[in-house]
Structure 1
């Protein structure tokens, strides 16, 4: 096998140049807000000998970064929606600055076996959809560019000129496995041309958004490791791809482990001496009882509380004040330390057992709240560029609290927000006028990127059903009246197959003409005429 013919001095010199380039990139305005637990020398040593294919993702990432910063300066926001269809994406270019590729949509329409929003599809599913969409964007960009350049400068004034290269934001879910799996997924995204991906703190294999109780998060430390793995992969590739730190702590019911003391404040335990939940459920099953009813019965009998709540339940006012004062001396306090403080400040014993409520899969019960979400978001922020707290209901005071508290630590933080398909604004106390300005009110707090993630499932299904009914009832007459007529009469004409500038007819001509030696630009044809 041939050896590389390079001196040790040249190898070291090349390495030092690489290190300097990395440090310069990290110090630039685009990345200066990031804090990494590793240094540039480590990343330089992890790189390939030839540059990684990250140019397109970097270009789109910087473009998105500038868009979001501009929105933040102006108090405005980008409103986009989720789709997996390149045809839909081509029309989004006329109104949206970005495109969102949802994992839920991909798992529903882009896999061999569709499913609900459980992230149970292969880890490269979403990157493949990004590849498909980005290639379609490049095609539209190419065919529009050559079509425009067929015309004179004066003629181009009246031609369409859409920015088809809208940055793609994609769903990385929880990373799909070990840190190396997360890194591989991140690499696939970069090679696909993505502008930003988001990684959440949900437990792998336990995602249950759409089937009732059971949302499970991982310890804060595991969440940060995921984000670090993605950031590291981006750095290894030298990409400017953005990382969106998504926190799904709100409305979570379980946490997989209590290994991180930062989470101990929110773990629930039994405050009454009862048997384990799992034994209670097994006994109920053996007796043919309803398991949900049995679970609720046990929870009520167990007196579920956090440890601080358990202290509050037995302490006097003075004892509680002394306990709280001791807690405030430390930023994060483990359960064992909390027990020690309680033993010193509270006369009565505090019974608290967080093992008794554990689930059949070993999860601990978790009490979600805005404070917990804020703490995670603050811990994650130095690793990413944008923050997103998934909230299942539009509770305005919670939204204000979250974004305000994070910005107390990071004043210039950029935020994202996702609207679920069944938000009940009326139930949450919003007037019609307040709903109309909801996105603008969020934008004032720095929520610069807002998305309806699953438009295709609601919007496209609704439109398709309506057209299907029309077609079945009226046939071609209905089509001419409701679709073809209006499309052909718009100015400019709505994109369709009969519109050669959109469907690529002129681009195909350009290929044939170029192979034949003809010029396709207006000036080029004039020069060819003079030569001949």
Structure 2
């Protein structure tokens, strides 16, 4: 293999030009909100010598414009999860974007389906994105030939879960997403391999430093590829010391109360009983329970002198003020797998979201219950720090809005009220699993009972095979595109 024939001066000049180009791109309005911990020189040194462009950037710029338009108008995009190109072809009539859910992919795109535990191969969702984007391109090509009026190229937002491994795994997954044509990915702050998704318990959040590293790896890979692909930071909570719970009673550890053979119902019961006996509190709550009002004010004022006061320092401050050690043990509530128990509050989500906001383009707060005051507090507080911030929100299937105090009118207008807070992208991730099950069940029953009578009545004459205007459902006339290929090969011009 011959050596590259170049002189050092030329190579250096080319490299310097690349650095200047990267720095200029980072200063443009499209990326001015981002703050990177690395330099343009570092990125230039990590790039290939052959520059490439990606459809992902085109779709991301389109999405950026859509979401900012919603932000300006106080409106929002309402979409839902999909993994099948046929579903996506119909979404073009109503949705501006398509969401590819990891949970859905874990059901429909793998050989062994499972729950939303992110236990599928790391390239599962990128492959689903690639399949959908290719179908969108086909529909777009078809409609240019057939002169339809639907925008099939709806930007795809995809679930990157927690990154599926170390930083190099995140880099590889990010690259696959960009090459597949995704417009934006979102990444969680949960611990890899410990996801037991449910309402309330079942999630283990990583330290802020680890989450920052994940998002930095994504942003770095976007920059290496020269892609403007968007990143949404999905925060469950923070794990700063002030929010970790400790036992204030002299009790055995939670781990010792639970045996390996304990079944799930027994585990929940034992855990609940133990929590009631342990007097669980944050350290600050434990101090407040012992202190007089003035003592606690003094304690709080000393903490405010530091951004995050380490637990050892908190103990020293409390002892100086109270004259005694505070009985508080954060080791006793730890699970059999070693996780600390923490107190989720809206403030924890605000702190986590603020810590990573400038690495991403959109913020999504995942909360256990749709409490309206908390939703307002989070979005207003985050927007105060980062004006005109774009927000996303997911409607978890288990949300009980009535129990959370919403009236029927409030539920009806929730998406509009959230939009006024800057929540420009709102998604129902897994509706399609219920919808497909329902439609398939109904059709199967009717077909078995009525045969062709039902088919002609409900499919051919009205309903499923034809739209409201009598035309075929979108996507059924792809043969005309093949005719266009044949005419072009034969030298005949397309007649418009």
Q: TM-score band (shorter)?
A: over 0.9
SS in structure 2 opposite 1:473?
helix
Of 349-358 and 189-198, deviating more is 349-358
SS in structure 2 opposite 1:194?
coil
Give CA-to-partner distance per residue, 1:83-129, whole Å, 9 cap, x none: 10100101111111000000000000100110000000000000000
Distance in 2 between the 1:459 and 1:367 partners?
36
Q: Which of 515, 522, 528 is matched with 2:489 structurally?
A: 515
Q: Which residue of 1 aligns with 2:229?
A: 241
Could you say if the C-alpha distance between residues 458 and 490 of structure 1 is closer, same or farther in structure 2, counting changes exceeding 3 Å? closer
**Per-residue deviation, 1:362:** 1.2
Could you say if the C-alpha distance between residues 239 and 206 of structure 1 is closer, same or farther in structure 2, counting changes exceeding 3 Å? same
Query: What runs of 5+ residues in structure 2 fail to find an aligned partner?
Result: none
**Per-residue deviation, 1:345:** 1.7
Query: Are 1:372 and 2:341 matched, yes or no?
Result: no
Q: Which residue of 2 aligns with 1:298?
A: 274
Q: Is the 8 A contact 2:122 2:173 kept in 1?
A: yes
Q: Which residue of 1 aligns with 2:131?
A: 132
Number of aligned pairs? Answer: 494
SS in structure 1 opposite 2:451?
helix
Q: Which runs of structure 2 are paired with 1:117-516 in the superposition (5 Å)?
A: 117-148=116-147, 160-210=148-198, 213-249=201-237, 263-282=240-259, 290-487=266-463, 490=467, 492-496=469-473, 502-516=476-490
RMSD: 1.9
Distance in 1 between the 2:279 and 2:356 partners?
33
Distance in 2 between the 1:164 and 1:55 partners?
18
Q: Which runs of structure 2 are paired with 1:44-63 in the superposition (5 Å)?
A: 44-52=44-52, 54-63=53-62
Q: Which residue of 2 aligns with 1:114?
A: 113
**Per-residue deviation, 1:464:** 2.0
Of 476-485 and 330-339, deviating more is 476-485
Distance in 2 between the 1:291 and 1:453 partners?
29
Distance in 2 between the 1:423 and 1:465 partners?
26
Q: Is the 8 A contact 1:174 1:201 kept in 2?
A: yes
**Per-residue deviation, 1:478:** 1.8
Distance in 2 between the 1:494 and 1:266 partners?
58
SS in structure 1 opposite 2:462?
helix
Q: Is the 8 A contact 2:233 2:362 kept in 1?
A: yes
**Per-residue deviation, 1:211:** 8.2
Distance in 2 between the 1:2 and 1:161 partners?
53
Distance in 1 between the 2:199 and 2:471 partners?
40
Q: Is the 8 A contact 1:144 1:502 kept in 2?
A: no
Give CA-to-partner distance per residue, 1:24-66, whole Å, 9 cap, x none: 11111110000000010000001011124x4200000000000
Distance in 2 between the 1:51 and 1:491 partners?
47
**Per-residue deviation, 1:285:** 6.1
Query: What runs of 5+ residues in structure 1 fail to find an aligned partner?
Result: 149-159, 256-262, 523-532
SS in structure 2 opposite 1:364?
coil
Q: Which residue of 1 aligns with 2:15?
A: 15
**Per-residue deviation, 1:291:** 3.6
Q: Which residue of 2 aligns with 1:71?
A: 70
Distance in 1 between the 2:368 and 2:329 partners?
29
Distance in 1 between the 2:390 and 2:283 partners?
34
Q: Which residue of 2 aligns with 1:154?
A: none
